[in-house]
Each structure stands twice: as C-alpha cells, then as structure tokens.
A and B are shown apart, each in its own frame.
Chain A
Amino acid sequence: MSDAVIPGKIADKVETPFRRFVSEFAESKVALGALVVFIIITLLAIFAPWITPQNPYDLAELDIMDGRMEPGTVGGAGFTYWLGTDDQGRDMLSGIIYGLRISLTVGAGSALIACLIGASLGLLAAYAGGRTDSVIMRLVDLQLSFPTILAALMILAFLGKGIMNVVIALVLVEWAYYARTVRGTALVERRREYIEAAQCLALPTHRVLFRHLLPNCLPPLIVVGTMQVARAIALEATLSFLGLGVPITEPSLGLLIANGYEYMLSGKYWISFYPGIALLITIVSINLVGDQLRDVLNPRLKK
C-alpha cells in the first residue's frame, strides 16, 4: 500500500479501497466484536504454552488424584481448575486452549490447501472452457451432490485415522466450493477488457491467470474461504467425536468433547460442556465475520 508513507494527518483524508473496506466492515458492531473474539482465540491458540497454567500433555504435570474435579476446585499443584479437570486430572482450561490449537490448525490449514487447489481448478475451468471446463465442473457437481460428512467418512474409511488423513479428507470435500465460486466470478471477469489487453500483449497464460484474473476474483473467494474455515473446524470436530479424526495424542476440541461423553451421564458435565462452548464461540465468531465480509464485498449490496 502506497499510503503507508503518507504521514498522519493527510493519510486520514485519503480514502483508499482498503480504508473504505475497513470502515464499512466496522459498521456492524456485532461483526467487529466477532472479529475481536476470533483474534483473541487465535492468539490464545498460538501462545498456548505460555498462557495455560499446565501443559496438559506432559504427564509429569498431571496428578491423577485431581481427576474429574469440579470447576473452581483448587488442585494438588496449587492452582485453581477454573473449568474442572478430566478423568486424567488434566486442567480443562489448558486442554481446551491446546485443543483450539489443533482445531484451528487443521481447519485453517485444510481450508487453505482446498482454496489453492479449488481456486486453481476454477480459474482453469473458466479460462480454458470447453472440455476442460466440463470435466472439472462434472467433478464439482459430483462432489457437491454428496453431503460433506459422508464424503469425509468415505475418505477416512479408506485412509484410516490420523491428522494428515483428516486434512486430506477435508481438502477433498471442500475444494469444490472454491472451484465453483472462482469459476463463476472468473467467467464474468475474463470477458473484461483488461484480460483482452493482457492477452494482446502476449503474456504467458499463467501470468494472465494469476496476476490479472485471480486478483479480481478474490472478494467472493475470501467470503467463501472464511465460511469454509468454520465448516472445516466443525467437520473436524464431528469426525474426531466419531473417533475417526485426530489421534488421542493430539486431541482437538471434538475429541475432548468425546472424552467427556461417558462422564456426562453421571452428571460431570464440564468435561464435554466447556470444549463445546469453545468450539461454538470459534465457529460463530468466524461465521459472523464471514457474514459481514459478504455484505461489504458484495457490490450488489452497495448503496
């Protein structure tokens, strides 16, 4: 951004597209709040080892005598278990923050890979047209005609459990959404004059695709991408809850909830309840941000 070099006062008056975007986004207080919440969650996840009172996966720090303690109990190690402990005597708060780490990494990571693959295929389909287009779009149709959970289940049934396999499954069920979105936008954009101009200059195809066409397809891609991160996190949690997702050594929020399942029937609600709340806050905040992004980035809704 060139406005970075303009000093203070003058810069305030210059309306760059980025500034307009920020001010329009901030119009909704709910979305702004959601963004703040999401940033806090992300920071918590990144700095987990320095924030949590306990490293929940260092067995030396766990005290089995502290197992299944109610929220607010002071444990043997001297600090308070604000959200209680699980059956291993693990502090739930620490467990949740570490779990967020895994959930966010898997969710955002798979969404990013799916975005790269899906967007490239979508661009290719729109640009090449003809047979390439129809082959790619038939694949997209096929993918979208099955509910994501079934497709993911199928892939995990073949590949087996494990964090990499979950990422592969999520990528395979999500790429189609990106491909469809990008193709739709790119079909409109490629008829514009600037693409024609770029082609007349005999620029190489990849340059036209990625430097000219792709940047102009970004707004809808960002919106879909945001929503898909939330979907990926929810799907990963569901798969892990079903026992098909991440391994026990790297528990995401879904696995934490699953761990609490058997204790819930005896009234020990907190082992499942709080990880679920954390999951809920994460998903809802991402969705709210995505909603507002859609409103701001959609030119049809512009006043």
Chain B
Amino acid sequence: MTVYLVRRLLQALLVVLAMSLIVFIGVYAIGDPVEILISPDADQIERERAVQALGLDLPLWQQYAVFLTKALQGDLGRSFVYNEPALKLILQRMPATMELAFGATIFALIIGLPLGLYAGLRPNSRFSRVIMASSILGFSLPTFWVGLMLIMVFAVYLGWLPSTGRGDTGTLLGMQWSFLTWDGLRHMAMPALNLSLFKISLVIRLTRAGVRETMLMDYVKFARAKGLSPARVTFVHVFKNILIPVVTVVGLELGSTIAFSVVTESVFAWPGMGKLIIDSINVLDRPVIVAYLMLIVLMFIAINLIVDLTYSMLDPRVRLESKGT
C-alpha cells in the first residue's frame, strides 16, 4: 500500500508540473506576454520597465523557473481590474461557489433518491417511464438555457424568487455565506436547482439500477419471507445498501459540479469563482485566469488522487494491476 501511495503521489506531482507547464506556455508563449501581463494603458517606458521587472528578457526556461518559484510561494500575480493578488480574489469568491455546489448536491439527493427508488420498485409503471424519460432530458438539456427558463418562470412570471445575485449573507468562520439568511436561501434556490439537474438524472439512474439489482438479492427475499412490512424491506434492507454507492458517486461528482458552476453562475449572476473567471477572460485579466486555472488543476488532481486511493483501498485489484505496469 505504501509503495502504491508513493507511486501515486509522484504521479500526481508530475501531472501538476505538466499542467503548470501547459498553463505557462499557454500564457507566456502563445499569447504576447507583454500584452497579457502588463496593463494595456501602460506607456512605452512603463512597458520596458515592466518587461525587465517581470524577467521577460530571460530565456524561456528561466522564466518558467521564476514562475514556478513564485507560484509555490502563493504568488500568482495581481489582477489588473481589482489590483489585488489574484489568488486572494479567487479565494474570496470560493465560499459562494462551494455553497452552490453543496446546495446542488443536496437537491440531487432529495429529488433524485425518491424518484429513483420509485422507478426501481415499479419499473413498468407509467410514472416510472416518465421519470426515466425526464432523466434523459436532464442529460441532454443545455444547462444555461434551463437556467434562463427557470428565471423566466419563477422570477419574471410568477415572481416567487429573485432572478439574480446572492442576496443577504451571514458571516461564519470569517466568510460570507448565503445559506445563513432567508433572503440568501431564496437567491440560492434557483441556481442550485439548475446546477443539480444533471446530478438529479445521475442519481435517479444510479438509484434505479441499484434498487433493481438489490431486490433480487437473497437477503431481500429472506426479509420478505420473514413477513416484514414492504416499507421496512424497502427502507432498511434495500435503501441502506444502495445509499453507499450513490453517495460515493455524488461525492466524487463534486469536482465537476464546481466546474459546471461556471455556467450557472453566469446565468444567475452568482458572484462565485466561475463568474469571476468568465469576467476575467472577457476583460483579459490574465493573472486571474492563470491563478484560477492553476487552482482548479490542483483541485482536480487532488480529487482524482483521493478517488484513486479510495478505490484502491476498497478494491485490491486496482493496487495489483498498477504494480504490473
């Protein structure tokens, strides 16, 4: 196990290095670095001074070394627009994105589990067919358009929920959270639902498949034969057993939820990391773009690492297989 762990950590480190190189080349070599890193309003003398200060006259490998050293110290440049360290700017927006992602996960579970359970218990009923057809829609509907339609129905026509923004926030652990206030929760409802659409479909399908599989197990038949009530069989014997894989998958999906929040945040003007990166790309605030990309790359590598390690702990075959290669 230790050998595997070390090997896997080394691999992750390699990927971080490779990605930092890609981001570095993307910003410094493909685009014009002067244009990218120096504010467009700077005059000629300022530009030259900046070129010197940024070390852009050095050979590329030296520049990369400087970039890496600074990145390791947490310095990923300053935003042109906000004139603040890019990393700090992103971290400030992180709670908004996180609570949206968690809200979406909760929605996915409280909507997806009961529907999936029903579809699994009565696979041939009309309502189950409707559920399964809608889950296909949930996979193919473009998220941003559904978001617009949600705004149209619930904010414009019905006027039940606020259309955009984050609303009032409460402070917890020195960070601003929307879920602490009623107004904030009202603002969060639609974006969280929008972000969860894909996950709801996923949970429905996983739950249904799990239920259908578990219903055939001997222990379920035995519980029935003992004369336990159908409710007890369903909720204690079946439900408990399908919950583990469903929750695992939903947890693993957290990373891609954060990624897809880029779209939802833009639709609902939700001031999270995703909205920040889109705005930054639109005004070419490159230090923020670089910082966001590096951060997200790190996050994904960490998530993938955790997933692999969890799987290898649960399934020894994974460990043995990787020893072979």
Contacts and interface: CB of A to CB of B under 8 A. Distances in A.
B278 interface: yes
A228 interface: no
A154 B26 CA distance: 9
A147 B148 contact: no
Contacts of B163: 265
Contacts of A146: 259, 297, 300
A261 interface: yes
Interface string A247-278: 00000001001001100111101001100100
Interface stretch (B37-45, B75-83, B135-143): B135-143
A287 B148 contact: no
B304 interface: yes
A264 B156 CA distance: 8
Contacts of B27: 158
B143 A156 contact: no
Given A145-B300, A149-B259, A238 B277 contact: no
Contact of B266 (A134, A242, A264): A242
Contacts of A234: 140, 142
Interface in B89-120: none
A16 B144 CA distance: 45
Contacts of A276: 142, 145, 148-149
A279 B108 CA distance: 25
A150 B151 contact: no
Given A149-B259, A158-B26, A243-B278, A280 B304 contact: no
A157 interface: yes
A39 interface: no
A251 to B, nearest CB: 15
B143 A238 contact: yes
Contact of B137 (A153, A242, A284): A284
A237 B142 contact: yes
Given A147-B256, A273-B149, A157 B26 contact: yes
Contacts of B66: none
Interface in A210-266: 230, 234, 237-238, 241-244, 254, 257, 260-261, 264-266
Interface string B287-317: 0010001001100100010000000000000
B293 to A, nearest CB: 6
Given A134-B325, A158-B27, A234-B140, A153 B145 contact: no
Contacts of B23: 154
B64 to A, nearest CB: 16
A158 B30 contact: yes
Interface string A144-178: 01110110011011111000000000000000000
B282 A243 contact: yes
A201 interface: no
A267 to B, nearest CB: 6
Contact of B151 (A243, A264, A280): A264
Contacts of A153: 262, 277, 281
A245 to B, nearest CB: 12
Given A158-B26, A243-B282, A257 B144 contact: yes
B281 A156 contact: yes
A124 to B, nearest CB: 19
A283 interface: yes
B145 A244 contact: no
Interface centre among A160, A242, A272 (most CB of B within 10 A): A242
B152 A280 contact: no
B144 A241 contact: yes
B26 A257 contact: no
B263 interface: yes
A142 interface: yes
B31 interface: yes
Contacts of A269: 152, 156
A284 B135 CA distance: 12
A157 B289 contact: yes
B94 to A, nearest CB: 16
B296 A150 contact: yes
B156 A265 contact: yes
A261 B137 CA distance: 22
B239 interface: no
B142 A264 contact: no
Nearest to A231: B140
Instruction: Please name the 7 residue pairs, one residue from A and one from B, whose CB atoms are nearest each other, closest first.
Output: A158-B26, A276-B145, A147-B259, A147-B256, A150-B259, A241-B144, A283-B140
Given A158-B31, A264-B152, A280-B141, 17 more contacts: A134-B325, A150-B300, A153-B281, A154-B26, A242-B278, A244-B278, A244-B282, A267-B157, A269-B156, A272-B145, A272-B152, A273-B149, A276-B142, A279-B145, A280-B140, A280-B142, A283-B140
8 contacts: A149-B263, A241-B266, A244-B282, A264-B151, A265-B156, A266-B156, A273-B152, A279-B145
